[in-house]
Amino acid sequence: QGALGAITVWEELPPEIVATHLLLAMVILTVMAATALGMFNTLRGGAPPGERAAARRVGRRAAITLVLFVAVVWMGGYLGESGGSTACEGWPTCNGAVFPGADDQQITHMTHRYLAALLVVPLAWMVAAAWRERATLRWGVHAASTAGLIYVLQVAAGALNVLYTFPDALTVTHTVLASLLWLTLSAAALLGISALAAPRESAPLPRAEAPA
């Protein structure tokens, strides 16, 4: 991450390096989440047996959603530095058209929008799975509903950015919401992965010997 930051400065902010720099920052968030969740699972002795199957189902869907979100984040970072942010006026169309013209910046801009719109499919799949498992997996409902809410806010922030020509406050909000969505999906995926491990059994306490 430090090396990419240095290259970004030396090469005067090339968009592909800036996008990769942003994506790596998101990966660091995942590592931090994994550390925190690992400590949590250690304290509670692993996932309870009745929760493991449900956690795997919700976690798998969260991981699939996160994979697509990787493309959304990278393309968003590239868009911000390539000059394509203002290539399309209006929302959800681009200069009044559903599909971009031959302009490269318009294509980049709309590709980011298409990927963000496509994200609703695996996200809805995750929410549906979490709702079905709500009786046995309380955290699944919380994670899925949080991810859904952040996604809606993220889309709204993206639309407002375009309509108001990318004011700083909205641009920062858009990035913060992306980070929160990434963190939520990462946490759900990691909890699902951790459910694969068998619950840790507590070692029996040594029996005190009766005095002679």
Element at 125 (helix H, strand E): helix 120-132
41 inside domain: yes
Distances (CA, A) of 7 to 4, 12, 51, 80, 81: 5, 8, 45, 17, 14
Tell me the pLDDT tens digit for each residue of 138-171.
889 999 999 999 999 999 999 999 999 999 999 9
100 inside domain: yes
210 inside domain: no
208 inside domain: no
Q: How many independent structural domains does the chain possess? A: 1
Segments of the chain with pLDDT less than 50: 202-203, 205
Domain that residue 111 falls in: 2-194
C-alpha 6/C-alpha 48 separation (Å) is 46
115 inside domain: yes
201 inside domain: no
Tell me the pLDDT tens digit for each residue of 94-109.
999 998 888 899 999 9
Q: 75 CB contacts (<8 Å, ≥6 apart)?
A: 19, 108, 111, 112, 115
199 inside domain: no
70 inside domain: yes
